[in-house]
Structure 1
């Protein structure tokens, strides 16, 4: 039994202790820190590469989740406080823009403001825990003075030497497994550590570990590996290695001559070479399976002085199952299609990249958003895997992916990470009064690497498009023929690269240096614009057919991280729709702008009238960039009739359709002038048409076209009574980049009896479920109406 000193229990000992402390004075926090109450529950560490033990990206663990600090308003004073939290005397500098690499998980602190004298980072001012508008490209780092605080022994600091963080994970295709196209779905697990890429010992490796690794690599699930094949291959390699000639005596030993081994051919030879290069850096991996990152699992790192690593073991091998969007390029299309696919009840909207966006869920046949209360990485990962991506890189709050419109269906979602769908997680059903769209939740998911890059551009957002073709083991880079390359193809490239949206699709790129890549390997590319990768677009096969040859005429793109997102206020259309019989003598100006039906040309001008379906339209910009006309001011057209400039030839399409989709009447609206009619609170107007002003729609503003404006109608003079669909499409020719084109159409039910019209059930084209949309378009017993 451990002896107890009298000073620990005696009141006299306690009194003497207090007197001694009073005489000697309390130690300074900068020289002998003690446990601060404000730091309870927090843990700190330095991470990232390349770095030294006293510098790196600052990471904080709160509520069991590791996160980072945004560099907004970060100063040396804040670095002093954090270095003391980490056990160093002071800071000598700090870094911004993720110098040590981007982190993962939450961004715990933003706009951190410290005076430098605080005892804990919790005493500094900030936007609040987890409240940030940053990305991990803005992670802050510190450079501390390489001098430890005397007597510092804070268990809340994760020592760098003992707890290295796994920054990246990759799969190296295993030799002898045949050639496979990208993305790589099976191979040896390698982790990036300060010593480079090292392998993981497979002792104790479990399916949970594979699940986490596949999630980091952008795959929703894992499958069993054919271990018999790898065991057989290793045995054959071991036999081939055992047949190597031994040293030929003392003379060769002194001369340090090493005879070359006689190894087998093909995969055995390659496996032998690979086996001799095995370098293990990690072992004892034990994941629960719900972790979003391997660094969150229990794991052990080999020490530098370990001479025997992974005795009796082998490198861990993982095989992943790609999601449906990537199955075609990985050769598993048939397998994915064989599984029954029901209608999805979760989707992402407003994101610049695949696997990124505002989370929307389907309830009662209507799409709505999710409130960010208690939104975390586990819930975000459930969403990502449900949609066919990997685990979540970030759980976004505060409408970082833009505000939605309409219902808010869920709040306080609490997932364990094992659920197959977000709807299986415990949650709270709420009303609009409980939460606002300023708190819409979002996600960023891990995606597979699919082999595409840009070269020669002035920045990473532009350049000549290069694709990687071939199969694992024989991959090469090549160019794309520029014939008929356009905006839709560029949209796919920018999305696949994670660079956002396409400003331009270029057919000539002679002004960009192509480096060593001069071979054209793809031609005839045709995309709809909705694909996630060029592999999903139509293109020529192995035969390349270019009308214009040479690297001068190869495809290029200019991408933008942000884009606008226009949305029509459908309820206003329903509220303001009415019929007007307008005399012809009042329509000369509208006729000049082609706003009437073709039969108006043969009308008895100026006598008679035209029957017009009129309504107001209010177009909101919910994106993250202003909506600007594609054409510059120099090419705008002045219209004397209305006294304004037209900046776009066609801005909206107005159509009357039969239930089977036949168009019976149409209208169009050139952009009389794009301007900010009204804006949300605290948003200033930037665009107005007066005096040849700049045209556009600011983020958070809307342009209102009243029902009494010329061309704000559809000429229905020739339409017979019946049931119809009113459809309005904004930016119909995709002339201006938007983050989401699927919400550019609005539809309403119409009933016309020849004298009056009833417009009802107006909604954005993607606001309902597929089944609800089918019911919307169905009119039992109704035959198609035709123009007289």
Structure 2
């Protein structure tokens, strides 16, 4: 059964598929109470079911002890808000008697009720109830409460959380939930336990409660998470950038730019598992917010945590006219391709948390690999493939759809025991800056800099398409520029002799650039003739068209048209 299908509002029978899985789903629903229109499963307007009919409940007939019973029956925490009409007004029919719960009952309909029936809910409001979320999350076995194996108490039972495709970015809401700062590392740990809780990361990122995202499972391995216990970066574009806050005595404080220097920044970046600081600028990610850290940090730069640094003896009364510390650490990822003929091809490896490991990835496309080629300054992605292989050491797993929306590979990385070794080949020193990797303006890398390139011999553009593994040249057009600019003039004869691309280019000033369209390995299109008069076809010669015959070619996309024409033979 497809969950996404059901959530879209489709009928259950439309979402059912046949499956040979031995896993059976057991569901328990509250049979006599429900909360409607709330923001979670534990909030909403209360309705009670009796004699197969649902009824609203008047606020005047409901108190705190009644609310405790409802929250318990729904598997939620104690009631936190009880306010009439919070989630809508009374709707008919209306429950006719007053509940008189003691607060210990397991179900609302187990409570006593008033003997006389109420005729109306005049001046009353519908019961609006918010129960506290029952999630209890903890980390056990770590150096502090912000590190260790992640466990969740759900339905009254503590179980470990199983890791299933989680990345550091996915784990960030867990650290936030525990008031533990930023996510620093995510590892896998084998467990002898058979059952645990599985939490879907996409559900957590949508800001749903952990309870709503939890299912029982028998998966392995379990999640070992480390959060920064005393520093965090807010409002940044990645885990390694943002406005700095420091935690002390269970309270988070802003830090003044005037009280923070480069050595302090080095300690923070190291504590967060990021690379060295690259930008330190006040108010870059927001202004100072109260409360404000009252003393100046005096780090030497070698400390492992910011709170290990010395600080000034005197307290600062205000941050005026200072600004909040805005910090950007360089990404700690180091990527390399090994085992190829040059540094732009081979098996992908990633250094993360100080350790080089093989990258395990599945179903990567050339578009995904292009991110890595760009990171290595290696031009365009030419080929990508993965093969399954057993290794005696763990690998880094990179979620491919995360790569496109995150600026840092670190945010997309998790530990993995399943290895699909990823091999990537980049073009090294030639690329096209267009709608796809096989279309665009020709650029070459020369002395570490990418520049437009021009080749006035358009007949030899096929060499570039072949080098990019993009099939044949469909078109090559020299386009004028509004003003002369430094370009690289290509010697085609040199190109074909096997010399490196940089050896075949010489700087020059030109008013032109070269736009190239390669076939992108398109299969030969099917040609449909609107009329067969004068059109014949044979296995040896293909389609043959007599002169003065009328015919129509349909080929999609349009750039297949030239390939169509190449298959036609015109007769006099």
Query: TM-score, structure 2 length as denominator?
Result: 0.24
Q: Of Structure 1 and Structure 2, which has the larger fraction of its residues in strand?
A: 2
Greater RCO, CA 8 A, separation 6+ = 1
Query: TM-score, structure 1 length as denominator?
Result: 0.19
